[in-house]
């Protein structure tokens, strides 16, 4: 059992020494050298035997036994290729699925971020106790205060994300930028690959035209030329490259197609009193300080914070480990899916254990013989465990191949659903997980059947066991227990998947309020120096819209502040003639500045009044259109037309409601419409960032190159970005729920199939056990129906028990998925009923086939069975 403490050679040396000593003593007594040597040897006895005994008392024995067990196990597996193939395949499916999902869980949830000591990095958010939401950005005041007062952090740094137009490298491009505070790079602890990061003096206006590049952009712009000291033009301003970050460095984490490529120094004054919430912040914990301690300190500081900013009494700072923040949206789905594949593996295990149990009848005789020949119980169990480990390790090996395919499939289908997807791979930790789970599984189903088959009672009656035809009752009740567990587990999975599917169907069938087909969308950013005046922006928009409309295949084109489904802009409006609300967001509405054709492009229906028309210009009276949700909230049972609103980015200017349109899902699929106002763009502030929507007669993306050329014709330095169809946006919005629904459905179906196979196998086995009895019954004249009922009755009890147990389990467990469900409860009766009936049907089918075979038993053969 132990690794040898003493080497064989040490023992040999001891024996040598013994013989020498003895010889010398005998010589001293007067014997000749030759005689003394012989006498010493004689007195010692058999030297070889002594060495053998030493050998046996040491580890080599268990090693020998292991080799023996392995050899024997391999022979057993080879002798039963059918059993081996089914068992290995079942295990491979279970282990493969687990490995694939673990590789995702590891990359997304466990693998440290590529920063120095990433475990100490936290993201700081603001949470609002009144209006809800706990991932708001922070006010400069809060951050300045915490930076000054808190002692638990080694550093608190802040940044702001933005876009900029990159020109001078072929076509103009829109690039993601991050403007960072002084200690940003030191907080992350990643040094630049080339050059340096920002100097303190570069965080002042006038000296801030420097930047740090990502490795990817550096390669694209400069290739193999030196980058440091070169210049790059952003929004018409010239910046000097002072540093390049190493490849693989990202911050903040963004979804795959979007990447942060440029870091700029924060140089504008940090105004603690501004009251805006536009500062993103990260902090690094001091060594030895825990997250709890830091949270407690923040809570203690909150009192003075509220005194300093009484208007912000509802706000509270929140700390989230950076690692958790990156994966916050997928954490729960991944854990749920991981739970689901663990269930699949357990079901696979139960199947294999059942197979082994069924074979146990044969093995029982073998075990009885071995016991009779003197094999100890421990030795028998070891043999069974070795065989189990052999099976599960083979299964694990095949499972790895399945996992490789699975990972490849995951990476190609989950593109937008999972962060850090590029890091999902088979690596050391994942392989270790596979090995550990294989061994665990081998132990599990190796031990379960070991319980009845290595029963020491056999020792007393090997003869009985030799002639016995039936498995022990213990074996059979174990069969039943495993089956019921299996069915319960897969029912829980199926119900979980059923809920997800139903919720997904509900989600994708929501009324969007617009028609997403044949619409091309893209964005611009006119923040450069050329477009500093709203008039110039307006003229750019007008010119480009005219040109796009003239492109063959384009039906209509318009602009909007934000695209449907991607989140809107919130403003507060006031209604003329009503008291000003005291505080809060009673009049918070979604704001869209649009050009007149917007409703036609999106096919948003008119409910009352009129759309915005081209004649609603700068010089005509100010108008707006509201949606039905607005009417429901602010003018219930009243005529909204003719009402006048003000506020909402328009200051005191009064706007008259001229029309009511249908509700549109602006925030996302799962978020119901909120009150919304549409104002004519050219009667409002003309924003530098607008979205184009173009309804086409042809395939929308086929027109993209032509449209891009038309826009470059208007301004050769103006890029367009994020060209995609409205349907792509729609698909993207449903990608995360689609992904988790598909995965969970896949795994629950796998569980169902495995369970059905298990049920089939065990019923067939039970039938074969009763062949004799059934033969007698048929011989005595029992009609086939009776036989069928006889067999099915037993299975019905099992299926019933399994389903009952599963329903109870599902009641408890589906609560976990409740936050992922859309518009249905986790105890949705329809899903429970449907899935249970499915399980019942599949279960009966799996039993019916062997039961039917039982009715065909030839009584003569059955009676001669023994």
Partner 1 sequence: MSTQKEKDRLELLQGTLDLLILRTLIFGPQHGQGIARAIQQTSEDELLVEHGALYPALQRLEERGWIAADWGTSANNRKARFYTLTRVGRKQLVKETTKWRRLAAAIGRVLGPEAGKG
Binding residues for partner 1, rule: CB under 8 A, are 11, 13-15, 17-18, 20-22, 24-26, 29, 31, 39, 43-47, 49-50, 53-54, 57
Plot region of 557 (φ>0 → left; ψ -120 to 50 → alpha; else → beta): beta
Least distance to partner 1 from the beta carbon of 19, Å?
8
Smallest gap from Cβ 62 to partner 1, in A, equals: 15
Q: What percent of the residues of the chain are helix, what percent strand, and what percent coil, each to the nearest 5?
A: 55, 15, 30
Give just the sign of the alpha carbon dihedral 132, 135, 140, 146: positive
Closest to 659 (Cα-Cα) out of 693, 625, 701: 625
Q: Using DSSP bridges, classify how beta strands 121-128 and 280-285 pair: parallel, antiparallel or unpaired.
A: antiparallel
Of residues 18 and 111, the one with the C-beta less far from partner 1: 18
**DSSP secondary structure string for all residues of 570-594:** EEEEEETTSPPP-SSSTTEEEEEEE
Give residue 168's region: left, alpha or beta (phi > 0; psi -120 to 50). Answer: left
CA distance 501 to 821: 9
Q: How far is the CB of 40 from partner 1 (least distance, A)?
A: 8
Name the residue nearer to partner 1 (CB basis): 25 or 171: 25
Measure the CA–CA gap between 773 and 341, rounded to whole angstroms: 40
- For Cα atoms 695, 699, 702, give the angle at the middle one, nearest 5 degrees: 105
What is residue 246's DSSP assignment? P
- Residue 188 CB, shortest distance to partner 1, in Å, is 56
CA-based end-to-end distance of the chain: 44
Instruction: Give dist(CA 454, CA 381) in Å, integer.
Output: 7
Q: Minimum distance from CB of 51 to partner 1 (Å)?
A: 9
Q: How far is the CB of 378 from partner 1 (least distance, A)?
A: 19
Q: Can you read off the two tokens belonging to residue 445? A: 């189903």
* Distance between CA atoms of residues 470 and 822, nearest Å: 52
Compute the least distance from the CB of residue 41 to partner 1, in Å.
9
Helix pair 771-779, 735-769: axis angle to 10 deg: 60
CB 846 to partner 1: min, Å:
55
- Cβ distance to partner 1 smaller for residue 24 or 699: 24
Rank residues 47 and 190 by Cβ distance to partner 1 and give the closer one: 47
- Which of 6/536 has CB closer to partner 1? 6
Number of neighbours of residue 744 by Cβ within 10 angstroms: 26
User: Of 22 and 727, which CB lies nearer to partner 1 in the complex structure?
Assistant: 22
Q: Token pair of 394, please? A: 């083979």
With beta carbons less than 8 A apart as the criterion, state whether 477 and 567 touch: no
Please say which residue, 57 or 290, places its beta carbon nearer to partner 1. Answer: 57
Q: Which is nearer to partner 1, 12 or 404 (CB)?
A: 12
Of the candidates 488, 347, 404, 343, the one whose C-alpha atom is nearest the C-alpha of residue 96 is: 404
Tell me the pairing of strands 153-167 and 588-594.
unpaired
Residues 710 and 557: beta-carbon distance below 8 Å: no
> In this complex, which beta carbon is closest to partner 1, that of residue 30 or of residue 579?
30
d(CA 665, CA 23): 102
Residue 323: CB atoms within 10 Å: 21
Looking at the chain, how many residues does it have?
866
CA atoms within 13 A on the CB side of 848: 6
Give least dist CB 53 to partner 1, A. 5
Query: Which one, 53 or 135, has the nearer CB to partner 1?
Result: 53
Q: Is the Cβ of residue 48 or residue 580 nearer to partner 1 in the bound state?
A: 48
3-state secondary structure of 707: helix
CA 842, 846, 849, 855: dihedral to nearest 10 degrees?
A: -100
Beta carbon of residue 155, minimum distance to partner 1 (angstroms, whole number) = 56
Structure tokens at 52: 């053998």
Least distance from partner 1 to the Cβ atom of residue 3, Å? 13
Q: 711 with 717: CB under 8 angstroms? A: no
- The distance of closest approach from Cβ of residue 46 to partner 1 in the complex, given in angstroms and rounded to an integer, is 6
Nearer Cβ to partner 1 (26/545): 26
Q: Is 521 helix (H, G, I), strand (E, B) or coil?
A: strand
Residue nearer to partner 1 on the CB measure, 20 or 278: 20
Closest CB to partner 1 among 45 and 287?
Answer: 45
Q: What is the CA radius of gyration of the chain?
A: 38
Residue with smaller CB distance to partner 1, 49 or 151: 49
Least distance in angstroms from the C-beta of 23 to partner 1? 10
Cβ count near 85 (within 10 Å): 11
The distance of closest approach from Cβ of residue 49 to partner 1 in the complex, given in angstroms and rounded to an integer, is 7
Query: Is the CB of 39 or the CB of 807 nearer to partner 1?
Result: 39
Q: How far is the CB of 809 from partner 1 (least distance, A)?
A: 50
- Whole-number minimum distance, CB 18 to partner 1, in Å? 4
For residue 281, the Cα-to-chain-centroid distance in whole angstroms is: 25
Whole-angstrom Cα distance, residue 722 to residue 667?
A: 18
């Amino acid at each position: 059992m132990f690794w040898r403490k003493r080497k064989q050679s040490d023992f040999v040396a001891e024996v040598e020494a013994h013989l020498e000593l003895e010889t010398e003593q005998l010589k001293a007594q007067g014997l000749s050298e030759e005689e003394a040597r012989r006498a010493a040897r004689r007195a010692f006895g058999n030297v070889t035997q002594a060495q053998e005994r030493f050998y046996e008392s040491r580890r080599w024995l268990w090693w020998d036994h292991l080799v023996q067990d392995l050899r024997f196990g391999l022979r057993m597996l080879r002798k039963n290729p059918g059993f081996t193939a089914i068992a290995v395949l079942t295990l491979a499916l279970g282990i493969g699925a687990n490995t694939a999902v673990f590789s995702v869980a590891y990359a997304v949830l466990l693998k440290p971020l590529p920063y120095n000591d990433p475990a100490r990095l936290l993201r700081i958010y603001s949470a609002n106790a009144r209006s809800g939401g706990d991932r708001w950005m922070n006010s400069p005041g809060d951050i300045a205060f915490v930076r000054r007062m808190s002692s638990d952090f080694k550093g608190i740094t802040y940044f702001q994300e933005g876009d900029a137009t990159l020109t001078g490298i072929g076509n103009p491009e829109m690039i993601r930028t991050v403007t960072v505070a002084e200690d940003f790079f030191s907080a992350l602890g990643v040094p630049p690959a080339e050059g340096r990061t920002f100097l303190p003096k570069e965080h002042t206006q006038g000296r801030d035209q420097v930047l740090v590049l990502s490795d990817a952009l550096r390669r694209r712009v400069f290739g193999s030329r030196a980058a440091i000291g070169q210049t790059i033009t952003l929004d018409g301003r010239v910046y000097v490259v002072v540093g390049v970050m190493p490849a693989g460095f990202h911050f903040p984490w963004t979804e795959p197609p979007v990447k942060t490529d440029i870091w700029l120094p924060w140089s504008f004054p940090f105004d603690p009193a501004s009251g805006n919430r536009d500062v993103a912040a990260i902090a690094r914990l001091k060594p030895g300080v825990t997250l709890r301690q830091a949270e407690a300190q923040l809570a203690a500081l909150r009192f003075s914070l509220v005194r300093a900013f009484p208007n912000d009494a509802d706000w509270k700072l929140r700390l989230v480990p950076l690692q958790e923040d990156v994966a916050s949206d997928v954490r729960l789905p991944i854990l749920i899916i991981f739970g689901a594949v663990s269930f699949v593996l357990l079901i696979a295990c139960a199947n294999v254990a059942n197979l082994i149990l069924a074979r146990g009848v044969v093995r029982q005789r073998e075990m009885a013989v071995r016991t009779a020949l003197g094999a100890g119980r421990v030795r028998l169990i070891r043999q069974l465990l070795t065989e189990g480990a052999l099976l599960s390790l083979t299964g694990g090996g095949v499972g790895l191949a399945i996992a490789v395919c699975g990972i490849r499939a995951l990476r190609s289908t989950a593109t937008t659903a999972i962060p850090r997807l590029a890091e999902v791979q088979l690596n050391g930790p994942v392989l270790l997980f596979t090995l550990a789970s294989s061994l665990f599984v081998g132990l599990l189903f190796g031990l379960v059947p070991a319980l009845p088959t290595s029963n020491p009672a056999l020792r007393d009656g090997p003869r009985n066991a030799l002639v016995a035809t039936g498995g022990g009752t213990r074996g059979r009740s174990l069969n039943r227990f495993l089956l019921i567990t299996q069915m319960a587990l897969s029912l829980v999975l199926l119900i979980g998947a059923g809920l997800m599917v139903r919720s997904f169907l509900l989600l994708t069938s929501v009324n969007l309020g617009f028609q997403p087909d044949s619409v091309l969308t893209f964005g611009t950013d006119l923040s450069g120096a050329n477009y500093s005046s709203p008039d110039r922006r307006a003229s750019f928009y007008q010119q480009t819209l005219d040109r796009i409309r003239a492109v063959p295949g384009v039906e209509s084109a318009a602009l909007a502040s934000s695209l449907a489904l991607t989140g809107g802009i919130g403003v507060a409006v006031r209604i003329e003639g009503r008291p000003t609300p005291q505080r809060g967001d009673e009049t918070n509405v979604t704001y869209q500045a649009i050009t007149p054709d917007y409703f036609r492009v999106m096919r948003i229906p008119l409910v009352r009044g009129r759309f915005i028309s081209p004649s609603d210009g700068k010089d005509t009276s100010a108008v707006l259109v509201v949606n039905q949700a607005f009417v429901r909230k602010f003018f219930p049972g009243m005529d909204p037309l003719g009402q006048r609103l003000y506020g909402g980015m328009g200051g005191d200017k009064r706007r008259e409601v001229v029309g009511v349109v249908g509700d549109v899902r602006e925030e996302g699929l799962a978020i119901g419409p909120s009150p919304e106002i549409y104002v004519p763009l050219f009667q409002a502030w003309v924003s530098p960032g607008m979205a184009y929507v173009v309804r086409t007669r042809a395939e929308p993306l086929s027109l993209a190159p032509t449209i891009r050329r038309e826009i470059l014709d208007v301004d050769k330095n103006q890029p367009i970005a994020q060209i995609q169809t409205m349907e792509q946006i729609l698909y993207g919005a449903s990608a995360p729920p689609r992904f988790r629904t598909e995965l969970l459905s896949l795994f629950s179906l796998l569980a169902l199939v495995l369970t059905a196979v298990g049920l089939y196998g065990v019923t067939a086995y039970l039938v074969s056990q009763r062949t004799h009895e059934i033969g007698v019954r048929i011989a005595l004249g029992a009609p086939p129906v009776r036989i069928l009922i006889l067999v099915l009755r037993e299975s019905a009890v099992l299926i019933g028990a399994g389903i009952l147990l599963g329903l109870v389990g599902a009641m408890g467990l589906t609560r976990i998925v409740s936050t992922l469900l859309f518009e249905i409860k986790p105890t949705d009766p329809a899903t429970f009923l449907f899935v249970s009936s499915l399980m019942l049907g599949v279960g009966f089918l799996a039993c019916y086939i062997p039961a039917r075979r039982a009715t065909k038993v030839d009584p003569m053969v059955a009676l001669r069975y023994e």
